[in-house]
Amino acid sequence: MNRAVFLDRDGTLIKDAHYLKDPEQIEIIEGVGCSLDAIKKSGFGIFMHTNQSGITRGYYGWEDVRACNHRMLQMLNLPEDFFDQVCIAPEDRFVPGGLRKPSPKFELEMISRYDLMPRRCWMVGDKWIDAETGLNAGMRAALVQTGKPLDDDLLDRAASLSVEVFTGLEQFVGHLLETIDE
Ligand SMILES: [Mg+2]
C-alpha cells in the first residue's frame, strides 16, 4: 500500500448531526457504502479522522463516539476492522502538535507507519479544515458538498489551492478511479 484515502466522518460519511451521541440517530449519506468498498477494492488504504470536541466539552464520552463508529459500519454492512486506522480527535480547539484537524499529526504518522506516498493520498471532508489537513500533510485534498455548505469564498480558496470539489463521496470516488495512474 502506498496510496490511501483519509476521510472525515460527519458530513462526509454520515449526515452531520450536531454533537452526535446516539448511534440510533445516524443517517448514512447516499452512495457511501459502495464508495468505501470501491476505494478499498482499488488497493487504497482507508483511514478515518474525525474531530470530536464533544469529548473535551463533556457532551459525550469516547465510548459514545466508538459506539457511533461501530453502528455506522454495521449500517454500511462493513466489518469492524474496515478502516486501517481511525483517529478520534477529542480536543475542543486547535493545539499545535495535537490531533484536531487541521493538524496533520495523524496523517503524518500514518504516512510513516504505512509507507504512504503523500502525493498519492487524499484527504476528503466537508469543511475547509479537512482540506487544510490534507494540504498540511502534503496530500491532495477534496471537499464534498454533503455536509456544511461551501460558500463562494471557500470555493475560490479551494480553486486557488487545487482542492477539488465534488457533490459527494460517490463523485469523488469516480474521479479517484479515473485518475488512479496519474
Ligand atoms: Mg465533517
The CA distances from residue 44 to 13, 54, 83, 115, 174, in Å, are 17, 30, 11, 12, 14
**Is the pLDDT reported for residue 107 higher than 80?**
yes
Q: How far is the CA of 31 from the centre of ligand 1 (A)?
A: 16
Cα–Cα distance, 51 to 64 (Å, whole number): 14
Ligand 1 center from residue 122 Cα (angstroms): 15
137 pLDDT higher than 90: yes
pLDDT tens sequence across 113-134: 999 999 999 999 999 999 999 9
Residue 4: the pLDDT is 98
- Residue 138's pLDDT band (cuts 50, 70, 90): very high
Residue 39 Cα to ligand 1 midpoint, Å, equals 19
Measured in Å, residue 10 CA sits from the centre of ligand 1 at 4
Give distance in angstroms: CA of 148 to centre of ligand 1: 7
60's CB contacts (< 8 A; 6+ apart) are 19, 21, 52, 54
pLDDT above 80: residue 1: no
CA distance 97 to 100: 9
> Residue 97's pLDDT is what?
85
pLDDT of residue 83: 98
29 CA from centroid of ligand 1 (Å): 12
Average pLDDT value over all residues in the chain: 96
CA torsion 97→43→120→4, rounded to 10°?
A: -20
Domain extents in the chain: 4-17+29-53+83-178
pTM: 0.96
Report how far ligand 1's centroid is from the alpha carbon of 98 (Å): 18
Give, to the nearest 10 degrees, the angle between helix 128-136 and helix 152-160.
10
- Judged against a pLDDT cut of 90, whether residue 33 lies above it is answered with yes
* Cβ atoms < 10 Å from Cβ of 61: 14
Residue 182 pLDDT exceeds 90: no
Q: 134: which 3 cell numbers?
A: 490534507
CA 95 to ligand 1 centroid distance, Å: 19
Q: Are 52 and 58 in contact (CB under 8 A)?
A: no
The pLDDT, as a whole number, for residue 95 is 84
- Ligand 1 centroid distance, CA of 69 (Å): 14
Higher-pLDDT residue of 182 and 83 is 83
- SS3 for 99-150 is CCCCCCHHHHHHHHHCCCCHHHEEEEECCHHHHHHHHHCCCEEEEECCCCCC
Q: For residue range 55-101, list pLDDT tens digits in order.
A: 999 999 999 999 999 999 999 999 999 999 999 999 999 888 899 99
Return d(Cα 86, Cα 58) in angstroms, integer.
21
C-alpha 71 to ligand 1 mean position (Å): 18
In a 10 Å sphere around its CB, with 0-12 CB exposed, 13-18 middle and 19+ buried, how is residue 125 labelled?
A: buried
Top CATH class of 4-17+29-53+83-178 equals: alpha beta
CA of 177 to the centre of ligand 1 (A): 23
DSSP per-residue string spanning 43-65: T-EEEEEEE-TTTTTTSS-HHHH
pLDDT at 148: 85
Which residue, chain included where needed, has cell 482542492? 163
Looking at residue 121, what is its pLDDT? 97
**pLDDT computed for residue 117 by the predictor:** 97
What is the CA(13)–ligand 1 centre distance, in A?
Answer: 9
